[in-house]
Amino acid sequence: MSKKILLILCISFFLKGCNNNNDTPKPVSPQIDFIKTFGGSSNESARSVIQTTDGGYAVLGYTQSADGDIINKTDISFDYWLLKFDTNDNLQWSKTYGGSDIDQGSKIIQTLDGGFALIGSSSSNDGDVSTNEGFNDIWLVKLDVSGNIIWEKSYGFPGNDLGFSVIQTSDGGYFVSGVLDVSGSGGDGNDRSLHAGGDYWGLKLDTNGTKIWRRYFGGSFTDSAFDVIASDDGGFILIGSSDSDDVDITNNKGGYDFWIVKVDINGSMVWEKSFGGSQIDEARSIAKMVDGNYLIVGDSRSNDQDISNSKGAADMWLIKVSDLGNLIWEKSFGGSSFDVARNISTTTDGGFLLSGSSRSQDGDVETNKGQNDVWIVKIDNSGNIEWQKTVGGSDIDFAYDAAELNNGDIIVVGESNSEDGDILENKGFTDILITKIIVK
C-alpha cells in the first residue's frame, strides 16, 4: 500500500471518529440527590416552588398540623405554609399564614422588590386574614424577603371563590386568576355584562393589591381557571377547564375541555378556544416558548377529536398553540393507567419540565412503586421526551410543581402518604414531599 493511500485512510478514519463523537448525544441520566418529607401529625401539601434570587428556593403549600415541623401554630385548621431553603438545601425559615378556618396556598412568585406574593383561598376572617365575604375568598398575601406580611387582600363574594395563580405585571401590579362562584355572587364580579355559571375570574390589581378591573368568563356550567400568563401585547391568557357549551364558549368538544381565553390589557375578551375530545380534558398550566407560542399541559381521558395518540385511561396531554390560539401540535404521555400533569416549567436549555403523577408502569413510564407516583418528564421544545423519573412508595405520592435551579438541579414538590419505597419517613397523614434531581 502506498504512503498516499495510507495517509488518506488514516485521515478518513480520524474524521469518521470525530463525526461519531460529535453526532452521538451524551446519555442523560437523572439521579435522585435527596427525598425529604416535611409535616406534622395531620395533612400537608406543597403546591408551588420557585428559585429565589439568592440562589435558594421557596416552597408554598398548606398545613393542617400544629406540631412536628410546623412551629408557631396553635390550631389544626389549614394555613398557608411557606418554607425557604438556601443554596445548600438547608431550611432557613418556615412560616404559616391564615386564620382559624381553612386557608390553602396555591402559588408563590418572587416580586420585583425581592419579596414574595402568595395566592390561594381562605374562609377565615381573623388572624392574618382581615376580611372574608363568604364561604371562600381568593386571598393574596404580599411578603417581604424575610416572609413578613406587608399587606394582604381578599377578593370574593358569598360563594366559593378560589385563587389558583398570580403573576406580577410590567407596571409592578398583579394579575390574579381563579374561579368566581357567580351563583354565590348573584352576578357580581364583573365590571361589565353579567351572565350565569361558575366562571374563570381575572382581576387586575395595582402594586398594593387594589382592584383596577375584574372580569369573569364562562358559560352555564363549571369553568375553572387554573393558570394565567402575560402576553406580549399587554394582555393575558387564562387556561383551565370548561364543560359549558354556551355564553362565552362556542366550540365545546364534549365533557370538560382545555379552555383558553385571551383578554386584552383592559380585560376584554379577544378570543377563546376549546381543545379536547368527548371525555374529560383539563388544562392545568401554561408556559411561553422562545418562538412566541405557548405550551399548555393538563390531562386527558379522551381518545378522539383533538387527541391523536391516547396511551391509556388518562394521559398527560400537551398542546402547542399560537398567539392566536391555533393548535400547532399535540402530544400524549403516559401508560395504560392514569397519568396526569399539574404543571409545566421552563428550563435553561429551552426545554420544559412536566410534573404530575402516574399509576402506569408501561408505555412512557418506566417504573411504578405503588398507586400514584410522582412523575417528572423532561421534554425538548418539540415535545420529545428526553428523560422521565418516578418517585414514590406503596401509597399515594403526587407532584404539583418543579423548578430548575441555577446549577441545573431540579426541585420537585408535592405530597406523599407513603413511608416505604423511595419515601423514608412519613410524619402524619399526608406530608409535603420535596425531591432534588441532579441531571448528569
Taking only the tens place, the pLDDT of each residue in 145-183 is 999 999 999 999 999 999 999 999 999 999 999 999 988
pLDDT(20) > 70: no
Q: Please give, one letter per residue, the 3-state secondary structure of 6-41.
A: HHHHHHHHHHHHHHHHHHCCCCCCEEEEEEEEECCC
Terminal-to-terminal C-alpha distance of the chain: 45
- Report the mean per-residue pLDDT for the chain: 93
CB 240 within 8 A of CB 225: yes
Interior CA angle at 87 toward 83 and 90, to 5°?
50
pLDDT at 28: 75
Residue 9 pLDDT exceeds 80: no
Residue 427 vs residues 74, 121, 401, 434, 436: alpha-carbon distances, Å: 18, 25, 21, 14, 19
Q: Is the dihedral of CA 163, 247, 286, 412 positive or negative?
A: positive
Write down the pLDDT at residue 196. 56
Q: pLDDT tier at 11 (50, 70, 90 boundaries)?
A: very low
Q: What is the pLDDT of residue 25?
A: 55
Q: What is the pLDDT of residue 67?
A: 97
For residue 194, the model assigns a pLDDT of 56
How confident is the model at residue 193, as a pLDDT? 57
Residue 26: the pLDDT is: 59
Mean pLDDT of 221-234: 96
Tens digits of per-residue pLDDT, 290-306? 999 999 999 999 999 99
Coarse DSSP helix, strand, coil percentages of the chain, rounded to the nearest 5 percent: 5, 50, 45
Please report, for residues 41, 136, 279, the alpha-carbon distance to residue 378 in angstroms, rounded to integers and kept in the order given.
34, 36, 27
What does each C-alpha distance from 4 to 1, 9, 17, 18 come to in angstroms?
8, 9, 20, 21
Q: What is the pLDDT of residue 4?
A: 42
**Of 335, 374, 370, nearest to 356 (Cα)?**
374
Q: What is the mean pLDDT of residues 76-83?
A: 97
d(Cα 230, Cα 335) in Å, to the nearest integer? 33
- From residue 133, how far is each of 107, 149, 215, 400 by CA, in Å? 22, 21, 18, 29
Q: Could you state, in order of their start, the residue ranges of all structural domains in the chain?
A: 26-74+112-117+170-439
Higher pLDDT, 179 or 3: 179
The mean pLDDT value for 201-215 works out to 97
> What are the pLDDT digits (tens) for 364-401?
999 999 999 999 999 999 999 999 999 999 999 999 99
pLDDT band (50, 70, 90) for residue 130: very high
Q: Torsions phi, psi of 22, nearest 5?
A: -75, -35
- Whether 172 and 112 have beta carbons less than 8 Å apart is answered as yes
pLDDT in the model for residue 195: 56
Q: Which has the closest alpha carbon to 221: 240, 249, 193?
A: 249
Percent of the chain residues topping a pLDDT of 90:
88
Q: What percent of the chain has pLDDT over 70?
A: 92
Q: What is the structure's pLDDT at 183?
A: 81
Residue listed under C-alpha cell 369573569: 216
Fold (topology level) of 26-74+112-117+170-439: Neuraminidase (2.120.10)
User: 158-174 burial string, b = 16+ CB within 10 Å, else e?
Assistant: bbbbbbbbbbbbeeebb
- CA 363, CA 337: separation in Å to the nearest integer? 10
How large is the average pLDDT for residues 212-218?
96
